[in-house]
């Protein structure tokens, strides 16, 4: 079974401070992991995915298969980073993609 756990419902940091949003997963196959972000009153949008290994808006995430984690990190948080962040895992079933989301972490960056 696919499962994604985001242990922190709320996370509050000050501008310029480092931020880490935790994500752990459970999946029997090779996982494909994503971070999606939802800014206030905007659509859910992809932030980054582990397979591309890129840095978007200063965020990075490394897949650690030993710890089954895919934590999202940014060295210096900005106020515009305040949003809801969802970690998600996909596995193929029936030829289509089933994306399972964690419960989300609401990040607030204070001035």
Partner 1 sequence: DTEVTQTPKHLVMGMTNKKSLKCEQHMGHRAMYWYKQKAKKPPELMFVYSYEKLSINESVPSRFSPECPNSSLLNLHLHALQPEDSALYLCASSRPSPISTIYFGEGSWLTVV
Residues within the interface to partner 1 (CB under 8 A): 32, 34, 36, 42-46, 49, 51, 86, 90-104
Tokens 């934590």 correspond to what residue? 71
**Terminal Cα distance for the chain, rounded:** 41
Closer to partner 1 by CB, 66 or 94: give it: 94
Task: State the minimum distance, in angstroms, from the CB of residue 55 to partner 1.
Answer: 16
Contact 68, 24 (CB under 8 A): yes
Name the minimum Å distance from CB 16 to partner 1.
28
* Residue closer to partner 1 (CB basis): 37 or 109: 37
Which of 66/95 has CB closer to partner 1? 95
CB of 1 to partner 1, least distance (A): 13
Closest separation between CB of residue 80 and partner 1, Å? 19
Which residues in 50-82 are b (16+ Cβ under 10 Å) and which e? beeeeeeeebebebeeeebbbbbebeebeeebb
Of 15 and 56, CB closest to partner 1:
56
Q: How many CB atoms lie within 10 A of CB 25?
A: 20
């Amino acid at each position: 079974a696919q499962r994604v756990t985001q242990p922190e419902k709320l996370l509050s940091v000050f501008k310029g401070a480092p931020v880490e949003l935790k994500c752990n997963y459970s999946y029997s196959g090779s996982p494909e992991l994503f971070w999606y972000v939802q800014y206030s009153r905007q659509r859910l949008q992809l932030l980054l995915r582990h397979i591309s290994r890129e840095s978007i808006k200063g965020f990075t995430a490394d897949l650690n298969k030993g710890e089954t984690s895919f934590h999202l990190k940014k060295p210096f948080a900005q106020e515009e980073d305040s949003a809801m962040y969802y970690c998600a895992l996909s596995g193929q079933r029936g030829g289509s993609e089933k994306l399972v989301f964690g419960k989300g972490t609401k990040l607030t960056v204070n001035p």
